[in-house]
Structure 1
Amino acid sequence: MIRLRSISLAAMSAMIATVAFAGCGSDGGSGLPNDPGGNPGGPNGDNPGGDIRGGGKGDGGTSGNIGDVANCAAATAQSALVKVNLITMFDKSGSMGRYKDDSGNWIDNTAKRWTPVSKGMTAFYSDPKSAGMNATLQYFPLSDSKGNICNVGTYSSPSVGLTPLPNGAFSNSLSATTPEGNTPTEPSLQGAVNTARAILASRKGEKAVVLFVTDGEPNGCSSTVDGAAKIAEDSYKGIPAAGIPSVPVYAIGVGPSTGAIDRIATAGGTTGVHVDVDNPDQTTSQLVSELQKIRGSVMSCSFAIPEPSDKREINFDAVRVNFTNGAGQATTLKYNETCAGNDGWRYDVKPSATVKPHSITLCANTCSTIQGDPNGKINIAFDCKGNGGGPIH
């Protein structure tokens, strides 16, 4: 069995994961990623374990050889952690600043909402620890050339295009923006999802997440909470048959409104975040803290799948994703296509005869568990197609 380099999770965002490919023979069992067979790996975390295709579980110290892995030709490649693209849709409605209430009285929330939230966003975009991420920024509401704020296309073209972080362009954009208008949640959220999908279409193997920041319930363009939740759900599910990967939606609520935030986030595969607005300094620090948590989650739990150096085909039904905790106990993580229950791992898209995944992502609970073990190690191994390791012609 090919040995893998271990990853120290405490420094995962700055390190490289080694993914090894071994050509396997034709014997074996079901060939499914969640087959219970296969050795969970050596106790020191540097052995990926045996072939899962019908192999025995092993004893934690010896490699399986159901596919005669040890005698097959092997290819090795290094895989950097997946580049993450943060697609931000930021609420600049009047309630974030100065607006008239239903009685015609002026209410000024600028000091409590717009200013501290913009300050927090600027701090995150400028943070050196955000290096390794790209980001976009768009606002809502916005009008197209005909004054229509319901045009999804308007929200699909970011005010700040895809830019590596840290970067001061976001601070300049926020400083030049004034809150006004209502809250067209549906077209703006759909625009963010469209942006994310367009980026992934041109940047294969990368990951995109939507960050939706708002202070209120949907208001405008016939937007509803149900409609926004459906958009988030579709984004998270992706369209596997068309090779469109999952795009999680993170929703941050600024102010007292919680219903829409929780519904949108849950449908988008995440958990709603609520930022208090009673104390401006606290609002900024709390927002920065929540953004850092999101950054840690999306950057530390995805791994790119490189091409084997000898151009053979990967067998996506024969994969081992193994975790060795700080106490040396090795576990093979189960494949979980939809991350139901939030345990295990998934591909960015379901593999098929015509669709090839580009990355592996740990499900939320598994990700949290691993992030909480600074001495743990992750190993990932694939087998290649072909009898005895020979190339496919």
Structure 2
Amino acid sequence: MMRRSLFTLLIALPASWLACSASGEGDPSGPGSGAGDTSAAIGGGGGIGVGQGGGTGGMASCASDTYPSELQPLDLYVLLDQSNSMDEVGKWDAVLSAISSFAADPSTVDVGMGLALFPRPPEHPPPAPCDGTNPNDPACGLYGPCLGSNNCYGALLGDSCLPSDYALPDVAIAPLPGVGQAINDTLVAASPPSGMSTPSEPAMRGALGYAVDWADAHPDHATVLVFATDGEPTNCTTNSVPGIATHVAAALPTVKTFVVGVGSSLGSLDAIANAGGTGQALLVDTAADVTQQFIAAMNSVRAIGQCQLDIPEPEEGTPDYGKVNVALVDPSDRDNRITLVNVGTEAECDPMTGGWYYDDPQSPARIFLCPASCSELTGNAWDVEVLLGCATIVK
């Protein structure tokens, strides 16, 4: 069983709500609401910064019972481009080194990982001939268009255009670092990359099917897909960025999709990341250290993916989602803390002071920490407290 990071949830019972009312809970910026220390920054000499007044102000009186809880285990499913362009300027060797190093990192004991490579050869022979010279000849199916030589273009390249050929992993999801050797061996066996095209949409459809099935079978885990590529979709009749965006959006909220683009001119990949619930693609500049940038991107995914908090249930009634607050706490000095602000959405996360937001503001199920706050939590031995009962401090 994977070791999990523990944190503390402080729950306010109805009897303590009176204390919040007395301290001005009706106005999140009023006296005693805790807004006085929202100017504190994360970092600044290492550790958690404390704003003026140090602590959570009037919210402290709202916490009367303490419940232990855990960060969810994180499972990463990496869909990696092995087209021959990945072998240019040393990209493949650098990415192989990065993934192998990440998978071997002993600090990844709270993380599972699986791997799927694309393109792949078709499991069954594709329809090589078409019936005529019509570019849209249906005889080619997903392997179109029909060429003047009466051949289906995609079939000539030897790469599958069928989602079913990408439905199974090359390495099934399993705990790290134990599965790291199998991942490394698979990448070495695939070297050098030899795919002739980039059938991203069929590969994504197959990978999402596996990831969603895995997530459904492991509801206590957070499952994310990491799509790593160096180019735009090519080949296959149904293969486009808008098409991929539609499929990743359909997988939410069960599976989020992160995108790592190996190259500096892949801005169109942002549409996939945005549709997959992760904002923007993480771009790796091939003119700099590709290995370290790719490791940093994987660590960013790990940090964001792990910082999903369940919303606790009070002993009586249901949570009032307008009366939830989150604080990071130094376990060696519990007076040293920062109350995080609710920023509304991931797009509003401050890169310095962080914050938090609901997965769905209209019908919340989970709390997500912003990357800056998540990095502070996972990079240091801090606790996190979720307090119910006082008006949410908002950005």
Q: Which whole-Å CA distance do the structure 2 matches of 1:315 and 1:215 have between them?
A: 45
Q: Which residue of structure 2 lines up, in the alignment, with residue 77 of structure 1?
A: 67
Q: Does 1:207 align with 2:217?
A: no
Q: Which residue of structure 1 lines up, in the alignment, with residue 165 of structure 2?
A: 154
- Equivalent of residue 342 in structure 2, options 326, 334, 343: 334
**Native 8 Å contact 2:4 2:73 kept in 1:** no
Any unmatched runs of 5+ in structure 1?
1-12, 44-58, 98-108, 239-243, 384-393
**Native 8 Å contact 1:20 1:380 kept in 2:** yes
- Equivalent of residue 123 in structure 2, options 126, 145, 163: 145
Q: Which whole-Å CA distance do the structure 2 matches of 1:214 and 1:231 have between them?
A: 17
Partner SS, residue 319 of structure 2: strand
Q: Which residue of structure 1 lines up, in the alignment, with residue 94 of structure 2?
A: 116
Partner SS, residue 297 of structure 1: helix
Partner SS, residue 302 of structure 2: helix
* Residues 331, 138 of structure 1: alpha-carbon distance in 2 compared, 3 angstrom cutoff: same
Q: Does 1:172 align with 2:166?
A: no
- Equivalent of residue 224 in structure 1, options 226, 230, 240: 240
Any unmatched runs of 5+ in structure 2?
38-54, 127-159, 390-395
Q: Which whole-Å CA distance do the structure 1 matches of 2:16 and 2:359 have between them?
A: 27
* Residues 35, 171 of structure 1: alpha-carbon distance in 2 compared, 3 angstrom cutoff: farther
Q: Aligned AA for 2:222?
A: K
**Native 8 Å contact 1:250 1:272 kept in 2:** yes
Deviation at 1:328, TM superposition (A): 4.9
Q: Which whole-Å CA distance do the structure 2 matches of 1:323 and 1:283 have between them?
A: 33
What does the per-residue CA deviation read over 1:75-108, in whole Å, with 9 as the maximum and x for residues that have no partner? x4321222111110000113224xxxxxxxxxxx
Q: Which range is displaced more, 157-166 or 114-123?
A: 114-123
Q: Aligned AA for 2:325?
A: R
Deviation at 1:184, TM superposition (A): 0.9
* Residues 42, 132 of structure 1: alpha-carbon distance in 2 compared, 3 angstrom cutoff: farther
**Native 8 Å contact 1:41 1:63 kept in 2:** no
- TM-score, length-scaled by structure 1: 0.66
Aligned length: 317
Q: Aligned AA for 2:341?
A: L
**Native 8 Å contact 2:279 2:347 kept in 1:** no
Q: Which whole-Å CA distance do the structure 2 matches of 1:35 and 1:335 have between them?
A: 16
Q: Aligned AA for 1:151?
A: L
* Residues 377, 95 of structure 1: alpha-carbon distance in 2 compared, 3 angstrom cutoff: same
Q: Does 1:24 align with 2:14?
A: yes
Q: Aligned AA for 1:225?
A: V
Deviation at 1:373, TM superposition (A): 9.8
What does the per-residue CA deviation read over 1:264-318, in whole Å, with 9 as the maximum and x for residues that have no partner? 3344323323334468xx332332233233333333x32345778x7x7652635
Deviation at 1:158, TM superposition (A): 1.3
Q: Which whole-Å CA distance do the structure 2 matches of 1:117 and 1:24 have between them?
A: 53
1:3-82 equivalences under 5 Å are 15-24=5-14, 36=28, 39-40=33-34, 60-63=56-59, 74=65, 76-82=66-72
Q: Aligned AA for 1:274?
A: L
Q: CA RMSD in A?
A: 4.1
Q: Does 1:96 align with 2:58?
A: no
Q: Which whole-Å CA distance do the structure 1 matches of 2:97 and 2:56 have between them?
A: 50
Q: Aligned AA for 1:175?
A: V
Partner SS, residue 123 of structure 1: helix
Q: Which whole-Å CA distance do the structure 2 matches of 1:341 and 1:316 have between them?
A: 22
Q: Which whole-Å CA distance do the structure 1 matches of 2:72 and 2:245 have between them?
A: 27
**Native 8 Å contact 2:279 2:346 kept in 1:** no
Q: Which whole-Å CA distance do the structure 2 matches of 1:290 and 1:64 have between them?
A: 37
Q: Which residue of structure 2 lines up, in the alignment, with residue 130 of structure 1?
A: 108
Deviation at 1:213, TM superposition (A): 0.9
Q: Which whole-Å CA distance do the structure 2 matches of 1:211 and 1:34 have between them?
A: 42
Q: Which range is displaced more, 125-134 or 314-323?
A: 314-323
Q: Which residue of structure 2 lines up, in the alignment, with residue 4 of structure 1?
A: none
Q: Which residue of structure 2 lines up, in the alignment, with residue 283 of structure 1?
A: 290
Q: Which whole-Å CA distance do the structure 1 matches of 2:225 and 2:26 have between them?
A: 29
What does the per-residue CA deviation read over 1:205-259, in whole Å, with 9 as the maximum and x for residues that have no partner? 3212221111111102231222233434444xx2xxxxx44x3322222245423
**Native 8 Å contact 2:197 2:234 kept in 1:** yes
Q: Does 1:295 align with 2:302?
A: yes
Q: Which residue of structure 2 lines up, in the alignment, with residue 391 of structure 1?
A: none
Q: Which whole-Å CA distance do the structure 1 matches of 2:169 and 2:273 have between them?
A: 21
What does the per-residue CA deviation read over 1:351-377, in whole Å, with 9 as the maximum and x for residues that have no partner? 85xxx83x4211346546x56996976
Deviation at 1:380, TM superposition (A): 0.9
- Equivalent of residue 279 in structure 2, options 266, 270, 284: 270
Q: Which whole-Å CA distance do the structure 1 matches of 2:320 and 2:110 have between them?
A: 27
What does the per-residue CA deviation read over 1:106-154, in whole Å, with 9 as the maximum and x for residues that have no partner? xxx3x71322221221111111122211111001112453246233233
**Native 8 Å contact 2:71 2:308 kept in 1:** yes
Q: Which whole-Å CA distance do the structure 2 matches of 1:122 and 1:34 have between them?
A: 52
